[in-house]
Structure 1
Amino acid sequence: MLVHVYGAYGLELNMAFSPDKRLLLERGWALAYCHVRYWTTIPRVNALTRKDWNRMLNYGDLLMFFRLKKAERPPPSLLLWSCPPIVYCTTSPSSHLGSVHMRLHHLCVHAGSFDHKSWSSPVGRLLNQQPQLVRAVTVQAPFLDVLGTMQDPSLPLTVEERGEWGDPLSSPQHRDNIATYCPCCNITPQRYPSMLITAYREDCRVPVSGVEKYVARLRAAVDTHSSVSMPKPEPDTHIILDLQPGGDHFGPEDFELSLCETARQIAFLHVELGLDQTAGHEEHQG
């Protein structure tokens, strides 16, 4: 199941058609849309009040969805249900989508909806607090070092974004609040899911230095956990940084390059989940 989630800047979740979604449908995936709080079906003033202090709400909504999805029977409000249960979560621009291909207790999260890039903070927090829920993750241009970015006024958008995130330099309360949900600040030695992280060298919205900082900390935590934990029959954790040229936060403008990027993400998920990438296509062609 491909689960789409959004929850930032008071923008609505993009539910538009895209070719990659059609491809997944043809190969047996189901699509679902999880409208976490901070969505503008409610008056915009409500979205504004959720800035900074209430970002925990969208993480709680995302976590609740995964817990309901794993229940033996879906609640009446859960319209889409995969059988056998397979889920995949995705986040879109400045938001949190996740695509999860789930077998029993294994989920696969994609932060970024292939054609859109991601904010990724709720997904990053989910991985820090409930990594056992997720099997594999792909993220595109993710905003994972929230605290480090907001403490560096030399970056292009830091001052402008203080109205959205708060100012940790002038307010200890803002700093403590950001530190509670910032993915980079809360990495601990434990078993994390495999991740494919795509970033762009000259991205002015999400500095690549923050992505590299997150990857370095995550790899160190994975290595520490592996060195002290008892051997278990678990798949290896692969943390892959796909660093691409260019400075567009929204990915390559060239169609073929964009297509290749999407193909890498889908292939990564299939490999990590041990799925046959050709079976569904051959059946469809037949």
Structure 2
Amino acid sequence: MKGTCLLIITTLTLHSMTQAQNVQPPRAAIKPKELTIHGDTRVDNYYYLNERENPDVINYLKAENAYLDQVLAPVKGLQDRLFDEMKGRIKQQDESVPYKEGDYYYYTRYVTGGEYPIYCRKKGALTGTEEVMFDGNALARGHNYYQLGGYEVSDNDELAVFCEDTVSRRLYTLRIKNLKTGQIYPEIIPNTEAGSFAWAADNKTLFYIKKDPQTLLGYQVFRHVLGTSPEQDVLVYEEPDNQFYMGLGRSKSKKYITIGVDHNGVATEYRLLDASKPTGAFTVFLPREKGHEYDIVHYKDKFYVRTNWKAENFRLMEVPEGKTADRNAWKEVIPHRADVYLSDLDVFANHLVLGERKAGLTNIRIISQKGTGDPARADFYLPFQDPAYVAGIGYNPDFNTNVVRYTYASLTTPSSTYDYNMDTQTATLMKRQEVLGGFDPANYTSERIFVTARDGAKVPVSIVYRKGTKKDGSAPLLQYSYGSYGINMEPSFSSTRLSLLDRGFIYAMAHIRGGQEMGRRWYEDGKMLKKKNTFNDFVDVSQHLINQKYTSPDKLFAMGGSAGGLLMGAVINQAPQLYRGVVAAVPFVDVVTTMLDETIPLTTGEFEEWGNPKQKVYYDYMKSYSPYDNVTKKAYPNLLVTTGLHDSQVQYWEPAKWVAKLRTLKTDTNQLLLHTNMEAGHGGASGRFQALKEIALEYAFMLNLVGVQQ
């Protein structure tokens, strides 16, 4: 009987696979539209897919979802097992390490079965009575998507401003809650920037950023007084240049409210207001200047300034209050170093803590501000051992302490939180991410190698795999990268990744140009008219991994999201023969059309990353690599593309158009699948467990292609 049952199951599985193979994919209607600039005309057959309210467009996206479900039906069981497995590694009832701010200890916790965090605090001591400030599960009730975009407590600890998004468009609605009574005040302020708000010292005046609902750019700062109508709010600053991003906050010293604007790595400007004088005027710290970026931290009667003024990798300077706009008054504290990138800064009463990058790895440096006779205690680095790891300065709101909180993780070490005594040089492990399901770090090993790219650049690659995995070309390998905006891909731990490693996969993170892992020049050499270095680096790493027998072309997979999705599109146009399959998540693939349309959210702020195609030199360069514009009649790898209908960063129609064009032109019979989350945006599902379903889908897609069904 057992044999008969197995035969029936096998027969049914084969029948399902045959049915899935015979399913015909949907075809988007062809409606040519000519797009002309610089005397060059592009014909876009699928331009109309940007009509979000068009029922035919929605039906097409739904048809693609149905097609994906049919094709992957044979591995639905594997997808469910992966989800259960990944969920089973998560400690459902969990709690963060509390931090002290003012008279309270703040922390978040999760309850069993809860999708969202609960934000809590205790007064005076951790043994005190718990106050629940925000219950994410209760707030999310009735919504398919929910995101608490941050909160800020007033100086008297009685009020909290918070913001929430229930659409995933990153247009947040601002609310105010009385933490003593639990009352949520009637003020409702829509279209605000997440986390960009600040209380004045009077506990009744609040500053916040308004966003343009079309471009999604924060461009106005308003002052609101508790108890008054938002219609009476006073505009205190408006940014006239739509290429700048804006942020708002309160200094660690609590003395200043700060408005910061940044032109995507090209220029910075800060404005300051004494928090005790909320109706006063903001003053400019130092006027913006093309090419000058800076960050500021207030310390007693002066400011520390992290600046790239005559320092590509940044240096640290200081300037007295009242003289900030006079650069002659700036004094150097730490000089520029060609091999060290100064990335971060925090101040304490008696210590200065710096984040630095050298040879692609993060370091934390501690400097005594009170002096010491022992050089080893006056200026030193925290010791880290793993070949590939990430360390960072944590959230440290307490100024008068000799303890700094930092975080550490590696490819084999779960995320860990430490409190470090800067006087005694001793570290205390406060919490390490608990991974259930029998995880043992001794079962895994990591490596860090450098790959020589075609132009001689040395590209670092972080690699992890389960011990015993053979490096003879037989192992499947997932290569991941991003490579844009100077954003670093850190070799951190992932409990979900274990589901691949335990099934024989090797995981490789390529730290390609366009990120900032190797310093500021690494970023500059991967943007604008040097963007192709990003794609070349990725392909060259792939070829190296194949040559060194980590994997082979029939088992090599690539993954990237957003700008990393652009990377995926460019890579499979350049070297499709290297990859068995590719996962492109929310991919930015229609570069030219998007960058020509300034009504699309965030376009204008991206000109310093990609260039402005209204200038012919940038248009020609973009067109030469834009994935959508370079799809041709040839064989492509198996491809899974994901997007969200309400995506605020990369509009859903970019991947939809890309898939439609690929369906028409590709000459292979490989899988081409599009999944649109009809209820989410750029970040996907909002719940901690719901998000795992999307990862399970991606993993099942890859595992199925290498014959792994369990």
Q: TM-score range by the shorter chain?
A: 0.7 to 0.9
Deviation, structure 1 residue 48: 3.6
Name which of 603, 612, 619 aligns with 1:158: 603
| Length, aligned pairs only | 234
Provide the residue aligned with 1:39 in structure 2.
Answer: 515
**What does residue 197 of structure 1 align with?**
641
Note if contact 1:2-1:32 (Cα within 8 Å) is conserved in structure 2.
Answer: yes
Show the counterpart of 1:109: 558
Aligned-partner SS, 1:3: strand
Cα distance in 1, alignment partners of residues 497 and 591 from structure 2: 30
Amino acid at match of 1:17: F
Distance 1:207 1:2, change over 3 A: same
- Deviation for aligned residue 1:127: 0.7
Correspondence for 2:527: 51
Secondary structure in 2 matching 1:108: strand
- Alignment partners' CA distance in 1, 2:583 and 2:633: 20
Residue pair 1:137, 1:193 contacting (<8 A) in 2 also: yes
Task: Report if the CA contact (8 A) 1:147-1:168 is conserved.
Answer: yes
| Cα displacement string for residues 65-120 of structure 1 (whole angstroms, at most 9, x for unaligned residues) | 1111222xx2xxxxxx63xx3xxxxxxxxxxxxxxxx4x544222224xxxx5532
| Amino acid aligned to 2:527 | K
Q: Identify which of 520, 528, 541 aligns with 1:65.
A: 541
* Structure 1 letter corresponding to 2:481: V
Residues 6/209 of structure 1: CA separation in 2 closer, same or farther (3 Å cut): closer
2:27 is the counterpart of 1:27: no
1:6 is displaced (CA, Å) by 3.0
Q: 1:46 to 1:23 in 2, by over 3 A?
A: closer
Q: Aligned match of 1:139 in 564, 569, 584? A: 584
Distance 2:525 2:534 in 1: 13
Query: Aligned partner of 2:599: which letter?
Result: S
Ranges in structure 2 where 5+ consecutive residues have no aligned partner: 1-476
Deviation at 1:3, TM superposition (A): 2.2
Per-residue deviation, 1:2 = 2.6
Q: For residue 45 of structure 1, report the CA deviation from its aligned partner.
A: 5.3
Match of 1:121 among 562, 566, 569: 566
Report matched runs for 1:1-286 at 5 Å.
Answer: 1-44=477-520, 47-48=523-524, 50-71=526-547, 74=548, 82=550, 85=551, 102=552, 104-112=553-561, 119-169=564-614, 171-222=615-666, 225=667, 236-273=669-706, 275-278=707-710
> Following TM superposition, by how much is the alpha carbon of 1:141 offset from its aligned partner in structure 2, in angstroms?
0.8
Q: Give TM-score, length-normalised by structure 2.
A: 0.32
- Whose helix fraction is larger, Structure 1's or Structure 2's? 1
Which amino acid in 2 is paired with 1:246? E
Give the whole-Å Cα distance in 2 for the aligned partners of 1:263 and 1:203.
Answer: 21
Q: Separation in 1 of the partners of 2:522 and 2:491? A: 22
8 Å Cα contact 2:484/2:526 also seen in 1 = no
The CA distance in 2 between the partners of 1:26 and 1:46, in whole Å, is 34
Aligned partners of 1:203 and 1:246 also within 8 Å: no
Per the alignment, in what secondary structure is the counterpart of residue 70 of structure 1?
Answer: helix
CA distance in 2, matches of 1:267, 1:43: 36
TM-score (norm 1): 0.76
Distance 1:50 1:107, change over 3 A: closer
RMSD across aligned C-alpha pairs, in angstroms? 1.9
Cα offset, 1:124, TM superposition: 1.1
State the alpha-carbon separation in 1 of the partners of residues 680 and 521 from structure 2. Answer: 33
Partners of 1:48 and 1:37 in 2: CA distance? 8
Q: Give secondary structure in 1 for the equivalent of 2:559.
A: strand
**AA at the equivalent of 2:590:** D
Per residue, is there more strand in 1 or in 2?
2
Distance in 1, matches of 2:514 and 2:687, equals 32
1: distance between equivalents of 2:633 and 2:507?
A: 33
Decide which moves more: 254-263 or 193-202.
254-263
Separation in 2 of the partners of 1:220 and 1:137?
18
Note the alpha carbon deviations across 1:183-226, whole angstroms, 9 max, x for none. 1110001111111111000101101111111111111112xx36
Paired position in structure 2 for 1:284 = none
The residue type paired with residue 241 of structure 1 is L
- Residue deviations 1:109-138, cap 9 Å, x none? 2224xxxx5532222111112111111111
Partner of 1:97: none
Query: Matched residues, percent identical?
Result: 29
CA distance in 2 between partners of 1:41 and 1:256 (Å): 31
CA 1:43–1:33 in 2, change beyond 3 Å: closer, same or farther? same
Asked if the contact 1:106–1:133 (Cα under 8 Å) also holds between the matched residues in 2, the reply is no
C-alpha distance in 1 between matches for 2:503 and 2:522: 39
Q: Hey, what's the Cα distance between the residues in 2 that align with 1:65 and 1:46?
A: 16
Q: 1:41 to 1:209 in 2, by over 3 A?
A: closer
**Structure 1: distance between partners of 2:696 and 2:554:** 25
Per-residue deviation at 1:26? 1.8
Q: Residue type matched to 1:189 in 2?
A: K
